[in-house]
Structure 1
Amino acid sequence: MKYIIIMSFLALVACAKEMGVDDTLPPLASKVELSFDTELTFQEGVKIKVTKVEDSRCPQNTTCIWAGMARVFFTITDKGVSKDSSIDFEAKPINTTVDINGVKYQVEITDVLPYPKNATSINQNDYKVSTTVKKL
């Protein structure tokens, strides 16, 4: 009996590998950190890429009338079809829904780093965006 269970498990793992499941990639619904202009592929084949960050957040240790926001532009791709979208991040998790050929994905942004420290601008390559993509 023990031998049958072990063989069944090994067969299941082999089938998953044959079906193209790459366990080195994160599954959908995992929180990931994206770098600017770097495409991330999930196990399910869905891809996301941060294409631009517009940051108007009030720098630390300054007084502002408005706290500001970071607008994150991204592209999400499924089965070769891409859709551009954006999210206005204001210091708390926020999400949007993206529809690609009738399949809906929820993209949530939980953080945008680095946070501005002074009046100097941040290079696009320095941004890191914490996000979660879920299939609805």
Structure 2
Amino acid sequence: MLNPQARFAALGLFMLTLLPSGSCDFLGLFPSPAVHIQLGQVFQISMGQTALLPTDGLSVTFKDVLEDSRCPVDVVCVWAGNAKVTLDVQQTGKATQTLALNSTLDPREAAYEGYRIRFEDLMPQPRSDRPIRREDYRLSLSITK
């Protein structure tokens, strides 16, 4: 029979062997796979996920929701509210740039290396009876040249 310290060490070693295999994906330790996109088409990415435009070497990563004051769908509001997100954008061989885009306020779109990146939608819509978990956000964007 192993003493408690040895059992803890054995469990830790076992967990470390699982991490590289992706077996702990359900814990949210690994980002979602990248989404391949095309110019001019609306696409959707989850928090932490990257969209790739392979033909141009462009990547866009959904980093964070800085603000979500959108009116809940089950409430009548005098103002629609706003959602503000941050993205990391990079083209092969170029510096990464962090962009902040809004759903209602300006800027709703931004320029990067000749591309226009536009905020299209953020899901899910807020509800008054429950907060949105960070990992549940899905951002719709479009990219044009």
TM-score over 0.5 (shorter chain): yes
CA deviation digits over 1:10-31, x for unaligned, max 9? xxxxxxxxxxxxxx93223222
CA–CA distance in 1 between the matches of 2:53 and 2:137? 21
SS at match of 2:114: strand
- Unaligned segments of structure 2, at least 5 residues: 1-34
CA deviation digits over 1:25-78, x for unaligned, max 9? 322322211111111211221000111112111112223342211112111111
1:52 to 55, 64, 83: 64
Does the Cα contact within 8 Å between 2:48 and 2:61 map onto a contact in 1? yes
Number of residue-to-residue matches in the alignment = 107
Does the Cα contact within 8 Å between 1:97 and 1:104 map onto a contact in 2? no
SS at match of 2:96: strand
Q: Which amino acid aligns with 2:75?
A: T
Structure 1 or 2: larger strand share? 1
The answer to whether residue 87 in structure 2 is matched with residue 74 in structure 1 is yes
- Tell me the residue number matched to 1:128: 138
Q: Which has the higher contact order (CA 8 A, sep 6+)?
A: 1
- Tell me the residue number matched to 1:14: none
- Tell me the residue number matched to 1:107: 117
- Unaligned segments of structure 1, at least 5 residues: 1-23
1:118 to 118, 128, 135: 128
- Tell me the residue number matched to 2:52: 41
SS at match of 1:116: coil
Percent identity at matched positions? 24
CA–CA distance in 2 between the matches of 1:25 and 1:113? 20
Does the Cα contact within 8 Å between 1:106 and 1:134 map onto a contact in 2? yes
Does the Cα contact within 8 Å between 2:101 and 2:110 map onto a contact in 1? no
Shift of 1:106: 0.5
- Deviating above 4 A after TM superposition, structure 1's stretches of 4 or more consecutive aligned residues are none
TM-score with structure 1 setting the length: 0.69
- Tell me the residue number matched to 2:102: 88
TM-aligned CA distance change 1:59 to 1:25, over 3 Å: closer
SS at match of 1:77: strand
Does the Cα contact within 8 Å between 1:59 and 1:116 map onto a contact in 2? yes
